[in-house]
Structure 1
Amino acid sequence: MKLLLTSSGISNPSIQNALISLLGKPIEESNALFVPTGMYPFPGGSQFVWKAMNGELGSAMCKLGWKSLGLLELTTLPAIQKEVWIKAITETDALLVWGGDPLFLSYWLKESGLAEVISSLENLVYVGVSAGSIATSKLFGESYSNLPNTIARPKTLQTLQFDTFENTFVTAEGAGFVDFAIIPHYNNQNHRDACNGNAATWASMLPGMVYAIDEHTAIKVADQKIEVISEGKWEVFDQTL
């Protein structure tokens, strides 16, 4: 599996070119599946799912001109014969994993069996957006003003003091596709916990490498090589130093 981890999807030509290079062919010759699962824990989640698919949230990732596009809802997979949905996965070129709640999303990536299946697919391209990127880590952290009450449970939970406010901070085991962690929406004023020194506070709660990426930056992972693709700003925090 190859990965393209973003804050807002395919937001500029550099990230789109990175996607095409990972696919190894034009987008219009590639099949994709859209995963909206992370949106459902929040009020109005079902409406946000439609807006994301319709190109009204972030970049219009579903409207890039795919040869075919389908929807894959992770919470339904345990009730479906495994051979059926595995066939759909093996026939796709890109898995477009939208944002929302990374705790809920990572739970269902593992509980559904999808994480195990796609880990062995060398040519599949996993495109993460926000929580879809966070959830790929072995261990991730997320900051909540209101923690959704779902079946998913964090590994740790505590109150974290940012510059002028407090949030609930959780850590949890993600899908384990990458060894580093991600803070999306770096210096986006709509995400105060990822702005300026708050990103460093967030990163300090996690071991190892933590990448803070803005809306115009992506992390490309292929053949165990990590490459930052950016037309914006990003920062890496190394907690091992």
Structure 2
Amino acid sequence: MKLLLTSAGIKNPSIHRALVDLLGKPVADATALCIPTAGYGHPHTNPTHAWRFISGRERDTPMCELGWKSVGVLELTALPSIGRERWVPWVEQADVLLVNGGDALYLHHWMQESGLAELLPTLRDTVWVGLSAGSMVMTPRIGREFMGWTPPSGSDDTLGVVDFSIFPHLNNPELPSNTLPAAERWAAALGSPAYAVDDETAFKVTDGTVEVISEGEWHRL
């Protein structure tokens, strides 16, 4: 699987070019499935946020509004009740998975419960585009500071597809606690590779190679 791990979606031309490069085709020729699940687990989101994401009305975090050939909705909480024989082909046929922000641990839980996490290693040509929590879920840990919904394990562990953790939305004026000193304290508690990134930054990951794509501010901590 190819990854584009963003803080706030396809925010600038550099991130857009990285997306097209990973797809290997124009956005207008690519089929997408969007995954809104993470939003339901976050204490500061509600169904309106999910609708705006799905309908392409989140101008501050562009994902579904990029002009895809088609966009479908993959709600992970529904998958266990409909059977793998139905939903696995939907995922396999998609060019890209657009994964909304919200609560990374809630998303991780439902990726495991639904079977999507188990399927990921087989999706070699599929592009995973994460937004905030949709990116953080691919890291080994998110840190206690980002724990909202508490999983049954009580742990902040996530999938560990990449070997670094992400502190998103650095210096976002709507998130005054997301400062570089706060990120440095967060990283020190993790004791493992980590980055703090603003909303103009993303990670492009192919075959284990990580490239920082940025028109803004980022720090390796």
- TM-score grouping bracket, smaller chain normalisation: over 0.9
Q: CA deviation at 1:60?
A: 2.6
Structure 1 stretches of 4+ moved >6 Å: none
Equivalent residue in structure 1 for 2:214, among 203, 211, 230: 230
| Change in 2 beyond 3 A, CA 1:227/1:119 | same
Paired residue for 1:141? 143
Q: CA deviation at 1:43?
A: 5.3
Paired residue for 2:98? 96
What one-letter code is carried by the residue in structure 2 that aligns with 1:20?
A: V
What one-letter code is carried by the residue in structure 2 that aligns with 1:79?
A: S
Q: CA deviation at 1:66?
A: 0.6
Larger relative contact order (CA 8 Å, sep ≥ 6): 2
Structure 1 unaligned runs (5+)?
Answer: 156-171
Residue identity (%): 45
Q: State the TM-score, normalizing by the size of structure 2.
A: 0.93
Q: CA deviation at 1:151?
A: 5.3
Rg comparison, structure with higher value: 1
Q: Distance in 2 between matches of 1:26 and 1:8?
A: 21
Q: Tell me which protein shows more strand as a share of its residues.
A: 1
1:110-138 deviations in Å (ceiling 9; x for gaps): 12110110222110100000011111112
Structure 2 unaligned runs (5+)?
Answer: none
- What are the equivalent positions in structure 2 for 1:39-188 lying under 5 Å apart? 39-41=39-41, 42=43, 44-53=45-54, 54-56=56-58, 58-143=60-145, 147-148=148-149, 152-155=152-155, 172-188=156-172
| Change in 2 beyond 3 A, CA 1:87/1:185 | same
Q: Distance in 1 between matches of 2:216 and 2:63?
A: 19
Asked if residue 198 in structure 1 is aligned to residue 182 in structure 2, the reply is yes
1:20-78 deviations in Å (ceiling 9; x for gaps): 00001111110001000011123552111012223235333111111110000011111
Q: Distance in 2 between matches of 1:63 and 1:228?
A: 23
Number of paired residues?
A: 219
Where 1:203 maps in the other structure, the secondary structure is helix
| Change in 2 beyond 3 A, CA 1:43/1:223 | closer
Q: Tell me which protein shows more helix as a share of its residues.
A: 2
What one-letter code is carried by the residue in structure 2 that aligns with 1:49?
A: A
